[in-house]
Amino acid sequence: MAAVLRLFRPSLAKTPPPFAESDDVYPVHMLDDTKTLRDIVVTWTLCFNDVLDADNLYASLSKLLEIGDWRKAGGRLRLKLEIHVPRAFTAERPAVYYTHQALDMNIEDHPLAKSLPKATEAPSIQPGPQVFRAFAACEDAPEKLEDFIYQDIPQLSLHITSFNDATLVALLWPHTLMDVMGQQALLHGWSLVLAGRESEVPPMLGAREDALYIATDKSVEQEEFIVGQKQLRGWSMLMFVLRFVWDLLWNQVVETRTIFLPKRAVNELCRQARGDLAAQDNGEQKPFISEGDVLTAWAARAVASSLPKPRPVTVLHALNARFRLTPLLQASGVYIQNMAVAAFTFLSSEVATGPLGPIARENRRHLIEQSTEAQVLAFLRELQREFKSGSDATLVCGEPDAVLIPFTNWTKANLFKVVDFSPTVKRVHGSGQRQQ
């Protein structure tokens, strides 16, 4: 709903800041500059149960963005869309927009912070991220793409909240900058600089040339795009959009929640799904379905079962090309950009409201079919045709009357193990001891 309302909201700033002739100009790549990503500003907050040195965190992140083409992440967005990077970052034009608030209390004594999502013994529904906006960004932080374009503000904002026994570290950036694997690379590089290991920071690749575009152009063997026959175009796309807008208007009160499922509950769902398949196949086969397939099936069935009338379901998955294209797998550095293409699972209303096992198996079948290197290249060729014609590099497949359910699986990013801010711990939680 917010995305629709923003179309009618005038921008307060009418003209962007003047160009600085000395700035380096970097391009924004094909999968970065889409209508969908232009409408998203990402906020991401981590809670540490220790007291961290906030200024040290800021200094190390800024230092990372001075290394080679990592500077691109410290630039400013300008129309058409491109990134302008100061030749030298200064106090007036820093690499990171940094704010810090120190609260003289324990985190559990704060009326809002004590409600931050926590692991629970049983499945639980907890407040959604919008409730904690005060910890995700400062009051005047950018909220939409225009805020970046019409102000001389860095793409990355770092907002740190310090308690007497904990620290909240929050990052904000426009989704046009990077996807979750780019975020992983940023956090890893940041951790290395913080530990004094700048020489180990991997180079940023593809800062000026789009590796996906190049890989697509160089591909020799070309397969037909399997799900292309289900691509929504013309009248079918119009019907899909109208139904999507109607769903938004009909359900104007949108609530966000965080759902926590403990490992025990996830294991039980997996057991149930595999039992469904064993019963259906008379125990003859044990088809592989992943934990992600089962969670996708569980969520899709919950949505489909809640509809007032039966409708088909299209599950849209973010499939990261970094893990699918040989040139990218063999890369000697990291890509800080968006490299996720779409994969689709098509479910009839009967399957979507049925047992977990068949839904999970359908999800697995579609993902296997669409995630080969040849099919990812076929998908990219379709997007490239749209991009070259001046259209938006976005492609949607499915039935015009389907409910669209987007999913993204961050397991491969492994963020909790990538982040290592231990060198900047000032005081360990639960003790008065300071780390040297």
Q: Kindly list the catalytic residues.
A: 175
Contact of 68 with 204, CB cutoff 8 Å: yes
For 387, the token pair is 């991009």
- Start-to-end CA distance of the chain, whole Å, equals 49
**Number of helices followed by number of strands (H, E) in the chain:** 15, 16
| Rounded CA separation 176/337 (Å) | 8
For 127, the token pair is 């407040």
Distance of CA 266 to the CA centre of its chain: 23
| Rounded CA separation 160/426 (Å) | 14
Q: Between β-strands 24-27 and 82-85, what pairing exists: parallel, antiparallel or unpaired?
A: antiparallel
Contact of 328 with 373, CB cutoff 8 Å: no
Helix (H), strand (E) at residue 169: strand 167-174
Q: From the CB of residue 394, how many other CB atoms can be counted at a distance below 10 Å?
A: 14
At position 195, the amino acid (one-letter code) is A
Backbone angles phi, psi at 433, to 5 degrees: -75, 135
Report the candidate in 341, 33, 336 with the shortest Cα–Cα distance to residue 183: 336
Report the candidate in 44, 52, 29 with the shortest Cα–Cα distance to residue 172: 44
Report the candidate in 193, 196, 212 with the shortest Cα–Cα distance to residue 331: 212
